[in-house]
């Protein structure tokens, strides 16, 4: 009887810890993995919006002016890495409003080997022009599959805190 009571107390204690952890993590303040600071969702979103409004360098403008079809596809794919969680990622490109506009214009002006590729990029970039990145997971995996990816399929969108950490680490 005493052993059962001890087991019961252990189960109750573990359950309380799990419930407490759940409520703490969903309270709007989460510690970013590997980071020493707590960032609220609202603060992370505000910081991400600041980076989105950054001016584009002349070097980026030059690079974009010399892109072919495969380069455009890779650049959009690299941008998705800022928004999604995947075990492996190769390449990165910070998302800014100016870069999205430049890419969209380039896609519209470029003659692609097939209309489906152009349509795929337009469907990805159109919502991004309005600041809507809800399609980033689908966009990443579509581009990944188009490029015959075998490793690095994205599994979910980043939380705002994770995205901010990615931005701070990579740009």
DSSP states of 78-93 as a string? HHHTTTEEES------
Domain encompassing residue 157:
35-170
Closest Cα to residue 84, out of 149, 140, 9, 39? 140
Q: How far apart are CA 150 and CA 69, in angstroms?
A: 21
- Residue 58 pLDDT level (bands cut at 50, 70, 90): confident
Mean pLDDT of 5-15: 61
Q: How far apart are CA 99 and CA 82, in angstroms?
A: 14
Say if CB 110 and CB 72 are below 8 A apart: yes
Shared domain for 21 and 59, answered yes or no, is no
Same domain, yes or no: 154 and 137: yes
- Measured CA to CA, the distance from residue 130 to residue 152 in angstroms comes to 27
How far apart CA 155 and CA 85 sit, in angstroms, is: 6
Looking at the structure, do residues 25 and 57 belong to the same domain, yes or no? no
pLDDT band at 149 (very low <50, low <70, confident <90, very high): very high
pTM: 0.75
Are residue 2 and residue 51 in the same domain, yes or no?
no
What pLDDT band is residue 60 in, cutting at 50, 70 and 90? confident
- How many independent structural domains does the chain possess? 2
pLDDT score of 8: 58
Q: For the purposes of burial, counting CB atoms within 10 Å of the CB of 80, is it exposed (0-12), middle (13-18) or buried (19 or more)?
A: buried
């Amino acid at each position: 009887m005493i052993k059962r009571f001890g087991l019961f107390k252990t189960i109750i204690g573990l359950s309380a810890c799990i419930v407490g952890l759940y409520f703490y993590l969903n309270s709007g303040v989460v510690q970013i993995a590997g980071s020493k600071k707590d960032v609220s969702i609202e603060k992370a979103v505000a910081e991400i919006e600041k980076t989105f409004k950054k001016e584009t360098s002349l070097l980026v403008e030059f690079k974009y002016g010399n892109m072919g079809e495969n380069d455009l596809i890779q650049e959009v794919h690299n941008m998705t890495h800022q928004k999604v969680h995947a075990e492996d990622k190769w390449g990165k490109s910070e998302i800014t409003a100016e870069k999205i506009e430049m890419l969209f214009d380039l896609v519209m002006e470029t003659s692609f080997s097939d209309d489906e590729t152009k349509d795929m990029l337009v469907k990805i970039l159109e919502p991004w022009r309005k600041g809507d990145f809800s399609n980033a997971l689908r966009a990443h995996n579509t581009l990944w599959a188009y490029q015959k990816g075998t490793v690095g399929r994205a599994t979910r969108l980043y939380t705002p805190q994770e995205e901010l950490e990615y931005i701070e680490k990579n740009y």
